[in-house]
Amino acid sequence: MSVQQSAFTGFTNPVDPTAAELRAWAYQPDSVSLQSMPADWDLLVAGDHLIGTLADLALDPRCPARRFALHCLHIYAADTVRTNFRAHPKRRLRKLVEQAEARGDDLNRQWAYNTRMLIARPDLFNYHDWCEGGLVRNPRKLGS
């Protein structure tokens, strides 16, 4: 799957980017240094309004910012489970998991597996792994 690409012209509001801006940036991520972005930008964009875009980007193996998108999916899953599904709807997370299982590669399916494990066993949550990129940098199946 390939997400439509367009020229990145910058973020109107980096704290609250649009889906189109995030998508355009994802295919030209070197055009903006992440160090110039607001602190915890990953936490800011990993919310309900952009999670569909992030999931699409994570599914596209040609997307240069794919690992960032996958990292945001980890944050979203952790936030959903840690708040007992108050931060984000359980059905939305399940839909993302099913999409990753059906259309994703090994990295996406591993995220889906780990998310299912986290739902079943919230004690598997580790902030470093889920929110600081540990499971993206060091992919592994949890609880096996």
- Position 33 scores a pLDDT of 67
String of DSSP letters for 37-89: SPTTHHHHHSSHHHHHHHHHHHH-TT-TTHHHHHHHHHHHHHHHHHTTTSSS-
Structural domain includes residue 2: no
Give the pLDDT score at 144.
Answer: 66
The answer, yes or no, to whether residue 38 has pLDDT greater than 50, is yes
In a domain, 118, yes or no: yes
Decide if 11 is inside a domain.
no
Distance, CA of 37 to CA of 107 (rounded, Å): 26
Q: Is residue 6 part of a domain?
A: no
Count up the domains in the chain and report the number: 1
Print the domain residue range for 103. 19-137
Q: Is residue 84 pLDDT above 90, yes or no?
A: yes
Assess if residue 144 is contained within a domain.
no
Q: From the centroid of its chain, how far is CA 106?
A: 15
pLDDT digits (tens, 9 = 90+) for 95-140: 999 999 999 999 999 999 999 999 999 999 999 999 999 999 999 9
> Is there a domain that residue 9 lies in?
no
Any residues with CB less than 8 A from the CB of 125 and at least 6 apart, and which?
78, 81, 82, 118
pTM value is 0.90
Instruction: Note the pLDDT of residue 93.
Output: 97
Structural domain includes residue 62: yes
Q: Does 86 reside within a domain? A: yes
For residue 66, what pLDDT band results from cuts at 50, 70 and 90?
A: very high
